[in-house]
């Protein structure tokens, strides 16, 4: 991958407030990972933006698209999908703080914008499907494949034990009422 793939020449644009310049770039960014979810190192990322010369800098508006891979948070099945992250950011000389990106010389670097947009766009707790039933907590079977051999949920056993306590007079609670005779 070329180091200049994400560099946009902006000399002319910077001289004309109000001017616009459309840019489309594609390439790889290296792996971007948040916990178990990642943009793989070989994923092709596309940046489609319009650069607008504004007073004090260049505004970049558009989308960053790529693909992600991860695991379902319930059943741990490997899954993946696409990301299309909207961007609206300001580049300005001396920038590079939380709100802006740096603009130096005659090149605008789209790479940090693309990386940030994808990191923000990664699903942190993805599901293979909305109603994924996850894994049996006891045997680890995928419940999407049907009930496992473990029988009723453990919760049932706990409630049954409580019911047993309630109906057992020797297990505490108030003594039986005594008449005033
Ligand atoms: Zn799942
Ligand atoms: Zn089970």
Residue 11 · residue 32 · CB < 8 Å: no
Q: Is 128 inside any structural domain?
A: no
Parallel, antiparallel or unpaired: strands 45-54 and 32-34? unpaired
C-alpha 28 to ligand 1 mean position (Å): 28
Q: Is 126 inside any structural domain?
A: no
Contacts of 139 by beta carbon, 8 Å cutoff, 6+ apart? 148, 149, 150
Q: Is 18 inside any structural domain?
A: yes
Q: Is 176 inside any structural domain?
A: no
Query: What is the band of 9 on the pLDDT scale with cuts at 50, 70, 90?
Result: very high
Predicted model pTM: 0.76
Q: Are residues 158 and 75 in the same domain?
A: no
Distance CA 119, CA 116 (A): 5
Q: Which domain holds residue 151?
A: 135-169
Number of domains forming the structure of the chain: 2
Starting from the CA of residue 73, give the closest ligand: 1
- Sign, Cα dihedral of 139, 142, 143, 148: negative
Q: Are residues 139 and 94 in the same domain?
A: no
Q: Are residues 145 and 102 in the same domain?
A: no
C-alpha 35 to ligand 2 mean position (Å): 27
Please, what is the average pLDDT of the chain? 87
Starting from the CA of residue 125, give the closest ligand: 1
Q: Are residues 68 and 146 in the same domain?
A: no
C-alpha 137 to ligand 1 mean position (Å): 14
Q: What is the pLDDT of residue 171?
A: 47
Q: Is 19 inside any structural domain?
A: yes
- Greater pLDDT, 43 or 98: 43
Query: What is the band of 143 on the pLDDT scale with cuts at 50, 70, 90?
Result: confident
Query: What is the band of 2 on the pLDDT scale with cuts at 50, 70, 90?
Result: low
C-alpha 5 to ligand 1 mean position (Å): 37
Q: Are residues 147 and 60 in the same domain?
A: no
Q: Are residues 103 and 139 in the same domain?
A: no
C-alpha 126 to ligand 1 mean position (Å): 8
Q: Is 29 inside any structural domain?
A: yes
Q: What is the pLDDT of residue 151?
A: 76
Q: Are residues 16 and 89 in the same domain?
A: yes
Q: What is the pLDDT of residue 22?
A: 97
C-alpha 81 to ligand 2 mean position (Å): 29
Query: What is the band of 150 on the pLDDT scale with cuts at 50, 70, 90?
Result: confident
C-alpha 73 to ligand 1 mean position (Å): 7
Q: What is the pLDDT of residue 45?
A: 98
Q: Are residues 81 and 139 in the same domain?
A: no
Q: Are residues 160 and 103 in the same domain?
A: no
Q: Are residues 99 and 160 in the same domain?
A: no
Starting from the CA of residue 78, give the closest ligand: 1
The percentage of residues in the chain with a pLDDT greater than 90, rounded to a whole number, is 62
Q: Is 130 inside any structural domain?
A: no
Distance CA 72, CA 97 (A): 34
Residues around ligand 2, an ion, CB closer than 5 A: 136, 138-139, 141, 148, 150
Tokens of 105: 């010389």
Q: Are residues 37 and 89 in the same domain?
A: yes
- Sign, Cα dihedral of 67, 86, 109, 38: negative
What is the average pLDDT across 74-97? 94
pLDDT, tens digit (0-9, with 9 covering 90-100), for 43-79: 999 999 999 999 999 999 999 999 999 999 999 999 9
Starting from the CA of residue 75, give the closest ligand: 1
C-alpha dist (Å) from residue 174 to 123, 162, 171: 52, 16, 10
Query: What is the band of 148 on the pLDDT scale with cuts at 50, 70, 90?
Result: confident
Q: Are residues 88 and 157 in the same domain?
A: no
C-alpha 84 to ligand 1 mean position (Å): 22
Starting from the CA of residue 153, give the closest ligand: 2
Q: Is 55 inside any structural domain?
A: yes
Residue 72 · residue 123 · CB < 8 Å: no
Three-state DSSP class for residue 142: strand
């Amino acid at each position: 991958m070329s180091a200049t793939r994400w560099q946009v020449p902006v000399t002319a644009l910077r001289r004309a407030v109000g001017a616009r310049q459309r840019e489309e770039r594609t390439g790889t960014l290296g792996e971007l990972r948040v916990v178990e979810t990642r943009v793989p190192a070989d994923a092709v990322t596309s940046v489609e933006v319009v650069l607008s010369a504004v007073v004090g800098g260049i505004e970049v508006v558009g989308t960053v698209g790529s693909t992600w891979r991860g695991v379902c948070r319930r059943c741990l099945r490997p899954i993946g999908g696409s990301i299309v992250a909207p961007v609206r950011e300001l580049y300005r000389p001396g920038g590079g703080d939380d709100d802006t990106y740096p603009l130096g010389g005659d090149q605008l670097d789209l790479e940090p914008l693309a990386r940030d947009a994808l990191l923000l766009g990664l699903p942190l707790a993805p599901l293979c499907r909305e109603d994924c039933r996850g894994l049996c907590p006891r045997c680890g079977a995928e419940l999407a494949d049907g009930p496992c051999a473990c029988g009723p949920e453990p919760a049932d056993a706990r409630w049954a034990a409580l019911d047993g306590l309630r109906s057992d007079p020797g297990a505490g609670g108030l003594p039986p009422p005594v008449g005033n005779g």
